[in-house]
Amino acid sequence: QVQLQESGPGLVKPSETLSLTCSVSGYSISSGHYWGWIRQPPGKGLEWIGRIYHSGRTDYNPSLKSRVTISVDTSKNQFSLKLSSMTAADTAMYYCARDLAGDSYGQFDFWGRGTLVTVSS
Amino acid sequence: DIQMTQSPSSLSASVGDRVTITCRAGQTMTHYLNWYQLKPGSAPKLLIYGASNLQSGVPSRFSGSGSGTEFTLTISSLQPEDFATYYCQHSYSNPYIFGPGTKLEIK
């Protein structure tokens, strides 16, 4: 069974850069598929942030592209999110997930439980 | 961006009821439409992919239909564990967009 787990700071100061890591077990990232990040602000809907292929190719949501970097470390079976210039509007639950784009219909078939990130001084 | 709408935004129903949630897209996306269930404290769960394909392990009371711009998620007989929030998501192009969600509550 594929399992994903997000880790990172729960509190980030305004203007700082958020760094989150998603650790994958039960499947080798090197084997394929895309790996993505999605977030949900409190009381609001889900927003797709972006994704990375095992080879390192990335796709980002244009609304966040200038601030987002997603990277992969196949040796640790992890992928990471960096979001710069954080503001209160970036306060959200951040999820990582496996994205089957290119192999199926682009569905997210396995998700982490999420990690809550609050932006506050 | 392809905009997504869902209706209703909330729904009260009883155990055993049949419920249908509708998702509409701002442009055609053939069958690139997926449905998820979210519960507080749990990982989101994929229910339906490609508009009508039941994800492995998901009970058969869940079904999806539609194509183009209008899609539906149907739960044939509500169970207590089905009370949650449901989201549609298109995967037709960048950026992926989720619908605003439908909160299913116990009547």
Give the pLDDT of residue A102: 82
Chain B residues within an 8 Å CB radius of A103? none
The minimum CA-CA distance between B18 and chain A, rounded to whole Å, is 25
Residue-wise pLDDT for B28-42, tens only, equals 988 999 999 999 999
Q: What percent of chain B has pLDDT over 70?
A: 100
Average pLDDT on B98-106 reads 96
Q: How far apart are CA B19 and CA B16, in angstroms?
A: 9
Q: How far apart are CA A54 and CA A74, in angstroms?
A: 8
**Contact between B33 and B25 (Cβ < 8 Å):** yes
Is the pLDDT reported for residue A96 higher than 90?
A: yes
